[in-house]
Amino acid sequence: MAKQAKSAPAKKGAAKAAKSGKNDEAARKVAPSAKKAEAAKAKRRGTGDPNKKRGSKSGPVVAEIPSGLPGSEADLAEQPQFEARYPGSGRLEGKVALVTGGDSGIGRAVAVLFAREGAAVAISYLSEEQDARETQRACEAEGARAMRFAGDLGDPKVCKKLVDAVVKAFGGLDVLVNNAGEQHPNAEITAITPQQLQRTFQSNIYSMFYLTQAARPHLKRGAAIINCTSITSYQGSGELLDYSSTKGAITAFTRSLSENLIEHGIRVNGVAPGPIWTPLNPAGGAPPEKVANFGDDSPMGRPGQPNEVAPSFLFLACEDSSYMSGQVLHPNGGTVVNG
């Protein structure tokens, strides 16, 4: 599940909420023990066991995060694993990649893996500056050129500014990863307000459309677009009605865009992750008990880690998938889906 990118219609209220949330968060923080700090550091290095379930008798998995606000890696007691697990082989050497929602979660893992494979990497994010700086640092540690850009992708003007900044900094654009998004669980359809519905569609699908429009003039033959959809696009979700609807739209958009661009030599594919441990899960407002058991109902009995999903994006971005377009890969822990 992808990272949050809030919509333009709720910008003013969101800014106030974010300011309040940061103050509340600061008041709640408790200094971790040396043991927990070292464990978190190991997780950030990507050295943890992906088969180990989250949580323990010592405390909750995640600190409280205000519902609907951008999630942060720093708020998670157990850090998502993002670092690549194998040496790079130059599969994106000389390429320029833009990853939206690249500050944390799946987006961070994709950005770092692309950097390891030789790409210059730009990431966009809403307001999570600390996470974005860490992603940029991790990309540069791989020897790659990297940049970050803060902005609300629900605004088409921001999308154009983002693309222009990337092209100016790196001289072009070869790979576009549309990964940013948000979710807000609701048990009842009547609880979904018009404002929430608008924001979710604006963040998850409108922003993808706007950014692709802005990027299109710069995408030449051989370029690749990878859209992040979701397992909920195929299975549905009773508590993520608006979110799963946008993911279904993204799947259709991916197939249609492939038909539109294939004659120009531009491939368009998608990735539909299952339950992946990222800041989006608690930030979306899910009850603590659901967060604690997140992913346990997958066939593998655990959530996936971002660095288990990133290789799917790499495959679709490089020439290894040169005969694939209009397709969707499913790193979802063993769930069988059709389509």
Catalytic residues: 243
Query: Exposed, middle or buried, 3 (CB in 10 Å: 0-12/13-18/19+)?
Result: buried
- Asked whether 272 and 328 are in contact (CB, 8 A), the reply is yes
Dist CA 89 CA 73 (whole Å) = 28
Dist CA 86 CA 180 (whole Å) = 25
3-state secondary structure of 333: coil
3-state secondary structure of 106: helix
Dist CA 104 CA 133 (whole Å) = 10
Under 8 Å CB-to-CB from 90, ≥6 apart: which residues? 117, 118
For the range 17-23, what are the long-range contacts, defined as Cβ-Cβ under 8 Å and sequence gap of 24 or more?
Answer: 17/66, 17/68, 17/69, 18/69, 18/70, 18/127, 20/66, 21/65, 21/66, 21/69
Nearest CA among 149, 176, 174 for reference residue 161:
149
The amino acid present at 188, given as its one-letter code, is E
Question: What phi-psi label fits residue 301: left (phi over 0), alpha (psi between -120 and 50 degrees) or beta?
Answer: left
- Asked whether 205 and 256 are in contact (CB, 8 A), the reply is no
- Asked whether 113 and 313 are in contact (CB, 8 A), the reply is yes
Neighbours of 110 (CB within 10 A): 33
From residue 97, give the alpha-carbon distance in Å to each of 58, 105, 121, 327: 41, 17, 5, 20
Neighbours of 150 (CB within 10 A): 15
Beta bridge pairs of residue 228: 271
Neighbours of 167 (CB within 10 A): 17
